[in-house]
Amino acid sequence: MKQYKAILIDWDDTIGDFVGAAKRALQEMYDKYNLSDYFASHEEFVALYKPHNIELWQLYGEDKITKAFLRIDRFLFPLLNGSKVSDKVLGDKALRQKLSTLAEQMSEDFLLLTTKYFSLLPEAEELVRYLAKKYPLTVVTNGFIEVQYEKFDKSGLRDCFSHIVLSEEVGCQKPNPRIYEEALRMNGISAEEAVMIGDSWNSDIQGAINAGIDQIWIRKSKDPLPEGQSATYLVQSLSEVMEIL
């Protein structure tokens, strides 16, 4: 087994349960703001929100939109396209302004609520503490400064990490190799001496490949691998990582 000098690890949905926190946050906002006035159901709201949010994060990672635009538009877009209002918005400036104000409120709430509902994934604490005893451990994560550091502190694992590399501080997002190069620089090692652990093919695994770093892909799906996707190591659970490292 190859010997590594440092471990790089993703945060959201590798260590922290962002999907679960976001699900609870969206449901709470749907009820709090009576979004049934705009959508036929909570499911319709989520179906409009999710793919648009993913698209916005991709554009943000490519420096095509600003953080401020992403934060508001991910909620404004579904509000403007809800089945109960979409045919009224163009001709009603007051309604559009109301929805714009609501999107701003929802943006603030979402960041607060996803932090409030933050929790570690099963086996995450065990894995992090295990790795921290054997290697310098560096978080490499996308996300906003104002919420990510709160989640690090809330996790109770902050002392396990030698370094934190946050996209907003570096000025680029995974999969840009520059964020990985910053992690290598902080550890004083070469790409061949590190391995990246993450759940996302696009940001974690492809990003590490771009930087010449080995990868451990935590791929929970049992579906066949999409063409062109592979990793140095492929596992389905965090506990399997301990068998490798």
Q: What is residue 190's three-state secondary structure?
A: coil
By the 8 A CB rule, do 48 and 78 touch?
Answer: yes
Residue 194 has pLDDT above 90, yes or no: yes
3-class SS shares of the chain: helix, strand, coil, % to 5: 55, 10, 30
For residue 7, the surrounding DSSP H or E stretch is strand 6-9
Instruction: Sort residue 65 into left (φ over 0), alpha (ψ -120 to 50) or beta.
Output: beta
CA distance 129 to 174: 24
Residue 227 has pLDDT above 90, yes or no: no
Q: pLDDT at position 29, please?
A: 98
The closest alpha carbon to 7, from 128, 130, 138, belongs to 138
By the 8 A CB rule, do 216 and 196 touch?
Answer: yes
State the pLDDT confidence band at 91, using cuts at 50, 70 and 90: confident
Higher per-residue pLDDT: 63 or 197: 197
Decide the pairing of beta strands 194-198 and 6-9.
Answer: parallel
CA distance 75 to 215: 34
By the 8 A CB rule, do 15 and 124 touch?
Answer: yes
Q: pLDDT at position 239, please?
A: 94
State the pLDDT confidence band at 90, using cuts at 50, 70 and 90: confident
Residue 1 has pLDDT above 80, yes or no: no
The two three-digit tokens of residue 52, written as one number? 């648009």
Give tens-digit pLDDT for 127-172: 999 999 999 999 999 988 989 999 999 999 999 999 999 999 998 8
Q: What mean pLDDT value characterizes the chain? A: 94
The pTM (predicted TM-score) of the whole model is 0.91
CA distance 150 to 67: 18
Give tens-digit pLDDT for 36-88: 999 999 999 999 999 999 999 989 888 899 999 999 999 999 999 999 999 98
The closest alpha carbon to 38, from 76, 94, 91, 93, belongs to 76
The closest alpha carbon to 139, from 120, 115, 160, belongs to 160
Residue 108 has pLDDT above 90, yes or no: yes
Q: What residue has token string 């959201």?
A: 12
Q: pLDDT at position 63, please?
A: 84
